[in-house]
Chains A and B, each alone.
Chain A
Amino acid sequence: MSNSTLWIVLLRMRMPFIVIIVTYTIAITGLLLIDGVDDKGNVYHMSIFDAYYFITYTATTIGFGETPYAFTYPQRMWVSFSIYLTVLGWFYGIGTLVSLLQDKVLLEELRRNKFRRNVKDIRQSFIIVLGYNNITSEIIKKALSYDIKTVVIESDESRVNDLLLENFTPYVPVLLSDVSSPKVLEEAGIEKSNCKGLVCLFNDDKLNLKIAVMAKLLNRNIKLVVKATTMNQGENLEDIGVDIVANPFSIISKEIDVAFKAPNILKLEKWIYKLDNLNAHTPNFPIGRYIICGFGRMGNYLHNRLSDNNIELVFIEIDEKKLVNYKEDSVSKIIIGDADDKKILTKAGILESVAIIAATNDDTTNLSILSSAKKLNPKIITIARENELGYISMFQNSRIDHVFLPANILINKTTNALINPLSDMFIQEMITKDEAWASSLVKRLTQTIDESPLLESIEIDNYDAPEIYKHLDNGEELKLKIFRTSLHNRELNNNVVPLALIRGDEKYLIPDWDMPLEKNDKILFACDKYARDDMQHIAQNIYEFYYAYSGKEKRTILRRILK
């Protein structure tokens, strides 16, 4: 009996039970001993059952009168005494039970049990999310939309209530508990084989590290997404073996860096994250002087990233203490002062600058800086960091050229990495390529398919693509081309572009159609709706595969007769 609620109840009800038994016994024994008189005037003694019956309805204050015969005075005296005795005992028992049901410890235990049951019942893939806030709430929604369940652990009761009010479907089990104990992670099902990942995006780096270590020890095979806000922390997490180190500042500076070097890569990335289509306006960052307001963690990252892009950087920072990490180099200089002050902006050379980045951790300050800058230099390109993730964005109606929202990038990166590991890998590989590669891919995608192709990943195994797997298993050869075949007419090609093929540790970006397939290959395609249906049919349906492969209709039933 591991069910501890029952034990709590039993332990607490011990005394009331004893009291009830003892009081009943005393009352019943008294009734058995005292002489009664029946309706004919003979002396009788109550039987045990008579006495038990009488006391049962008396103690519970129901009262059916005097049975089996009217009582004598000595009996009545005894009964008056027993009423006080048994009723008190009975009420004491009921009272204990009621107070027990309102007991915090018990309720906590009941909730925990329900949570454990819910986690145990999850049959499909699920992820564990630690902490419930705006960001993780978005992650949960995205995961659910991909038919991946989530389990949440949150230490703050009001946030748990927020989650319950959100009323996710399917149901999201949530446990109110401290997050940093192995026992809690076990309860959340981290050791189950269908647990695919753990999301831990606290602002406390130490806590994140602790949880990451615990999670890796409990289950080596899950994907960990952990937030880090410093380089050092990021390296620590990578040493442990965390799959995705979510560092919002590094992500955002990488984004800006990519936007400089290869805007089309950024475009592809936005398309994969379903933020935009391939016909969207390509962001354009001119070469020249950039003013960056705020030299905190983000400013630091920008400094490291942008210094090699042949642009001049001018930092403005209000707090002198933050300059300890600053290393003097040829392309950047730093001014101490309030970036919202027009004098300081002029001193930083606002009139000669091409762009201004407001990178402080306060949205109002960022907005205010950019509007001052616009007044001084109407032609300047404005770039803002948005911190608050809310339903209504303050930046929506401000005419800022580029708004980077670290939280949003974090959400997209996390869910994509957990749910579509193939496309996550593709993005990581893609970032190392150049602008020419990216623009030709964008062209190919838009010409072959449309401006917002779908992504489809297929693994050549017995579950995902049984027909192809069997065929390769028989030692036959098969080319990647098979996936392009139209099932309406074999001579035609569907609108498909192969994006990546993974074979063990080898990664092939944009593989050739003539590439021979092997077992356990994982392939990522961009395609349209029809092509997706056809690909799934070819991979899984014996008849469709046969047609695509040989151009004939497969005969199974009439095969022997028509040989």
Chain B
Amino acid sequence: MNMDKVISGFFIILAMTVNFGFVYGDLDTMTHHSKYELFAAIIINVIATVLKLGDRTQVGSVLLATSLVADIQLITAASVWTIATYASVVTSEVSTTIVSLSAGALLANFVSVLLYVGDTLKSKR
């Protein structure tokens, strides 16, 4: 058993699941979406990104790319939420934006997991 693989796999998959947890629910109802879950999703995503750093293989590069996409989507969602809360009002439009942004991140995370699993299945060790 490769401890490195366990840790990075854990974070990559957790990033996807937490992200899914946040996205799940009505688009325009903010009560369906916990801000703490978004917070957790961002942190786990960033950790997953850091774990992918320095891998020079082809798959490693693509994994890093998808991870960076997810980070950008989630941080944008959080920024939109923060700005709306403190500088204006959270309307249903804003909440739709927040959730769809994180849904985009979910897609990236999904691709990430697919790549990761595929790479693992291909590997001989």
Q: Point out residues on A near B: beta carbons under 8 Å.
A: 1, 4, 7, 10-14, 17-18, 21-22, 25, 28, 32, 47-49
Contact = CB atoms under 8 A, between A and B. Distances in A.
Given A14-B53, A47-B85, A32 B47 contact: no
B36 A14 contact: no
B69 interface: no
B46 A13 contact: no
B2 to A, nearest CB: 16
Contact of A32 (B36, B50, B85): B36
Contacts of B53: 10-11, 13-14, 17
A25 B85 contact: no
A48 B35 CA distance: 8
B47 A14 contact: no
How many B residues are at the interface, by size bracket? 10 to 19
Interface string B67-98: 00000000000100010011000000000000
Contacts, number: 36
B54 A21 contact: no
B85 to A, nearest CB: 7
B56 interface: yes
B47 A18 contact: yes
Contact of B36 (A11, A12, A22, A48): A48
B39 A7 contact: no
B29 interface: no
Chief secondary structure at chain B's binding surface: helix
Contacts of B86: 49
B61 A21 contact: no
B30 interface: no
The residue among B47, B53, B61 with the most chain A CB atoms within 10 A of its own CB is B53
A48 B54 CA distance: 31
A88 B82 CA distance: 28
Contacts of A48: 35-36, 39, 78
A277 to B, nearest CB: 61
A371 B51 CA distance: 77
Nearest to A51: B39
Contacts of A28: 39
Contact of A49 (B51, B54, B61, B82): B82
Contact of A18 (B39, B50, B78): B50
Given A7-B56, A25-B43, A47-B85, A17 B50 contact: yes
A17 B86 CA distance: 29
A105 to B, nearest CB: 14
Given A10-B54, A21-B50, A49-B86, 9 more contacts: A7-B56, A10-B53, A11-B54, A14-B50, A14-B53, A18-B51, A21-B43, A22-B47, A47-B85
Contacts of B61: 1
The residue among A17, A22, A47, A49 with the most chain B CB atoms within 10 A of its own CB is A49
B35 A21 contact: no
Nearest to B40: A25
A472 to B, nearest CB: 54
A96 to B, nearest CB: 13
27 contacts: A1-B56, A4-B56, A7-B54, A7-B56, A10-B53, A11-B54, A12-B54, A13-B53, A14-B51, A14-B53, A14-B54, A17-B50, A17-B53, A18-B50, A18-B51, A21-B43, A21-B46, A21-B47, A21-B50, A25-B43, A28-B39, A32-B36, A47-B85, A48-B36, A48-B39, A49-B82, A49-B86
Nearest to B11: A18
B117 to A, nearest CB: 22
Contacts of B46: 21
Contacts of A32: 36
Interface string B12-43: 00000000000000000000000110010001
A18 B61 CA distance: 19
Contacts of A13: 53
B105 to A, nearest CB: 17
A346 B12 CA distance: 92
Contacts of A10: 53-54
Contacts of A17: 50, 53
A10 B46 CA distance: 14
Contacts of B54: 7, 10-12, 14
The residue among A4, A12, A18, A22 with the most chain B CB atoms within 10 A of its own CB is A18
Nearest to B50: A17
A473 B3 CA distance: 74
Contacts of A4: 56
Contacts of B36: 32, 48
A47 B81 CA distance: 12
Contacts of B51: 14, 18
A119 B61 CA distance: 27
Contacts of A49: 82, 85-86
Q: Which 3 A-B pairs have the closest CB atoms?
A: A11-B54, A10-B53, A17-B50
Nearest to A15: B50
Contacts of A18: 47, 50-51
B59 to A, nearest CB: 13
Nearest to A10: B53
A338 B82 CA distance: 94
Contacts of B56: 1, 4, 7
B55 to A, nearest CB: 8
A235 B65 CA distance: 56
A103 to B, nearest CB: 15
A49 B85 CA distance: 10
A7 B56 CA distance: 7
Contacts of A12: 54
Nearest to A19: B50
Contacts of B82: 49
A10 B56 CA distance: 10
B53 to A, nearest CB: 4
Contacts of A11: 53-54
A416 B85 CA distance: 76
A26 to B, nearest CB: 10
